[in-house]
A = this chain, B = another copy of it.
C-alpha cells in the first residue's frame, strides 16, 4: 500500500486550499494551544488564532503570549507574523450595528492576516438608511462586500440591490427574544430577495473572509 501513501501526499500538495494556517481556539485547552504554538514555531510557520479568549491568552507562557499580536474585540491573534499586505483594497466589511463589529473585525483581521486590506464600515443598519447611503460609493468600489448584521439582518439584502459585486452575508447572534442566537438573522439572509446573495454560518466572520480570499485568489 505504499502507492496509497504517495497518492495521499500528492493530494495534500494539490489540495492545499491556502486557508489552512488558522486554528479556532475556543474549545481547546491551554496546554493544547501551547503545543500547537510550539509546533508552529519549530516549523518557522505562522498561524491565525481565532476565537482566542482573553483567559486562554493569559494562560499561555510569556514568550508565547508576547509573540501574539492580539486584537481583543475580534478575539483574533497573529502568531509568527502575517502575509505581506497587498496594495489594492478589494474588500469592504460592512457592519449594521455596533454589536456586529466584533464579527466584522474577525473578517477584517482574517483578510489582513492573508495580506488582503479591507475597508471597515460600521453602524450603517437599514433602520437609519441615510447612513448607509452616505457610504454607498465606498461599498460599491469593493470587489467583495462582507455584510455583517444581526436581528432582522436586512443590511445584505439592501446592499445586494445596490451593488453588482459579490455580497457575502454574515448573520450575527446579537439580540434578544426571537433574535437570540442569530437564527432569525441567518434565515432572513437566506430568504433574501436580492439575487445572488450568499451566506455563512452565524458569527462566522472568519469563514466570510476565507470565501472572499477564494474569490480574490482565483486565477
CB contact list, A122-164 vs B, under 8 A: 125-131, 133-134, 136-137, 140, 143-144, 150-154, 157-158, 160-164
Q: Which of A37-45, A60-68, A77-85, A191-199 has 4 or more CB atoms under 8 Å from chain B?
A: A191-199
Which residues from 160 to 182 on chain A have a C-beta closer than 8 Å to any C-beta of chain B? 160-168, 171, 173-182
Given contacts A137-B1, A196-B207, contact A202 B188 (CB under 8 A): no
Closest to A198 in B: B198
Q: A41 to B215, alpha carbons, bound, how many Å?
A: 37
Residues of B within 8 A of A20 (CB): 195
Is A185 engaged at the interface, CB distance under 8 Å to the other chain?
A: yes
One complex includes copies of this chain to the number of 8
CA distance A41 to B219 in the complex (A): 39
A190 within 8 A of partner (CB): yes
| Contact code string A1-42 (vs B, CB < 8 Å = 1, else 0) | 101110111011011111110100011100010000000000
A-B contacts, 29 of them at CB < 8 A, read A1-B137, A4-B133, A4-B136, A5-B134, A11-B129, A14-B140, A17-B196, A27-B99, A126-B161, A127-B160, A127-B161, A127-B193, A129-B161, A143-B218, A151-B193, A152-B192, A154-B188, A168-B198, A176-B202, A177-B202, A177-B203, A178-B186, A184-B184, A185-B191, A187-B187, A191-B201, A196-B207, A199-B200, A215-B218
**Which residues does A use to contact B, with CB under 8 Å?**
1, 3-5, 7-9, 11-12, 14-20, 22, 26-28, 32, 96-99, 125-131, 133-134, 136-137, 140, 143-144, 150-154, 157-158, 160-168, 171, 173-204, 206-215, 217-219
